[in-house]
């Protein structure tokens, strides 16, 4: 249960309430968001029809004695990405594509793997069953070679079919954790009651299936690192700042952690803050939650929460808090390259405060 804040906490929660009021006002000015937030999920019949259309194109090519090929949006080019402050990084409407040809030595194996995974997706959707990406990999681990190959192909298929990945009936294994004032029911009926104690709950693997979310939280805190998350739990942060929700993706967030942050924002519209390291990698992780990534730009509407605020640690905090220089870790060449990359991102231009910090 939430307590009636006294002393300094009272002014803290008052500021939170003001911030939430401004967020809601901004949503109303912008015409609000789609019900449930993000892009509507594709129905099973729509997914099956999309796959059948792709297979029909292959059959037509073979009938014409032409080598069939898959045409997939190029997810690794900034030329295909546009930035909108209200959405984040998203793929442009008329994007450049690449062909996965069946008559090319460079791509024939990938063509076959896409066909194989498309077949598995079709069976999953048709039977209304689910599998994890790991399950797909272990159906023929020698053929796939490694898990990354499967992950990339699933994303390519989602992009090619123009279908949200969760509509493909393929789940990701979650690595994130959540704690605080939150209750919900999972798809199988399991009731989950997150607590403010020292033990966190694993982020569900099927975010689409959770329902009856209940919270009186005043804010959601995203924590970059698991060690920091655990330290805050040990220091009784959730109880001391109750009511709140705290979540970590344990570094670069997995898809389910991002989907859950998005679902919590869409459902409750409470302020969301990010606590990350004051280094290029921490800042990039915060940007992934807030504005998304180039690789998943085709699904930005389901993943990004532009309302996220950078709580810290700010580079300027190091000087303000008089942190001894001998306790700091110098930037490596890799860190500097990452910093240069982040500075070139389109979202930095609309954030003068960020540029100053960077």
Q: Which residues are catalytic?
A: 138
12 alpha-carbon distance from chain centroid = 28
Angle at 87 between CA 281 and CA 351, to 5 degrees: 55
DSSP character string of 205-248: S-GGG-EEEE---S-EEEES-HHHHHHHHHTTHHHHT-S-EEEE
Contact between 215 and 182 (Cβ < 8 Å): yes
Omega cis (within 30) before 313: yes
> Which residue(s) pair with 191 in the sheet?
185
92 alpha-carbon distance from chain centroid = 19
What is the three-class DSSP state of 268?
Answer: helix
According to DSSP, the β-strands at 309-312 and 69-73 are unpaired
Contact between 155 and 165 (Cβ < 8 Å): yes
CA dist 243 and 228 (Å) reads: 19
Quickly tell me which residue has 């693997």 as its tokens: 205
DSSP character string of 277-328: -SSHHHHHHHHHHHH--STTGGGGGGT--TT-EEEE--HHHHHHTT--GGGS
Angle between helices 280-291 and 333-343 (to 10 degrees): 30
CA dist 255 and 205 (Å) reads: 9
CA dist 21 and 270 (Å) reads: 9
Please name which of 170, 167, 154 lies closest in space to residue 48, comparing C-alpha atoms: 167
Quickly tell me which residue has 């033990």 as its tokens: 199
């Amino acid at each position: 249960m939430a307590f009636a804040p006294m002393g300094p906490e009272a002014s803290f929660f008052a500021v939170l309430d003001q911030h939430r009021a401004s967020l809601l006002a901004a949503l109303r000015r912008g015409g609000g968001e789609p019900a449930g937030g993000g892009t509507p999920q594709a129905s099973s019949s729509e997914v099956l029809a999309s796959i059948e259309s792709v297979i029909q194109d292959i059959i037509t090519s073979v009938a014409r004695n032409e080598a069939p090929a898959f045409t997939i949006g190029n997810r690794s080019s900034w030329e295909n990405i546009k930035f909108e402050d209200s959405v984040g990084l998203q793929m442009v409407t008329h994007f450049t594509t690449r062909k996965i040809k069946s008559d090319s030595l460079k791509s024939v194996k990938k063509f076959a793997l896409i066909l194989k995974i498309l077949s598995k997706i079709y069976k999953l959707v048709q039977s209304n069953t689910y599998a994890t990406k790991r399950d797909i990999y272990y159906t023929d681990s020698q053929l796939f070679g490694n898990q990354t190959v499967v992950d990339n192909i699933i994303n390519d298929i989602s992009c090619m079919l123009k279908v949200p990945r969760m509509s493909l009936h393929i789940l990701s294994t979650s690595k994130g954790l959540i704690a605080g004032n939150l209750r919900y029911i999972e798809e199988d009926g399991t009731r989950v009651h997150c607590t403010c104690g020292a033990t966190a709950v694993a982020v569900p693997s099927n975010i689409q299936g959770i329902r009856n979310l209940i919270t009186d939280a005043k804010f959601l805190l995203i924590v970059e690192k698991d060690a920091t998350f655990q330290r805050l739990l040990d220091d009784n942060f959730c109880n001391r700042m109750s009511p709140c929700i705290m979540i970590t993706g344990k570094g670069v967030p997995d898809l389910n952690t991002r989907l859950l942050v998005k679902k919590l924002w869409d459902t409750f519209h409470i302020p969301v803050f990010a606590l990350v390291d004051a280094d290029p990698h921490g800042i990039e992780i915060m940007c992934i939650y807030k504005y998304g990534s180039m690789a998943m730009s085709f699904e930005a509407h389901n993943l990004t929460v532009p309302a996220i605020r950078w709580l810290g640690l700010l580079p300027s905090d190091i000087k303000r808090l008089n942190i001894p220089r001998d306790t700091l870790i110098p930037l490596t060449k890799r860190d500097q390259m990452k910093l240069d990359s982040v500075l070139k991102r389109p979202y930095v231009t609309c954030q003068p405060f960020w540029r100053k910090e960077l």
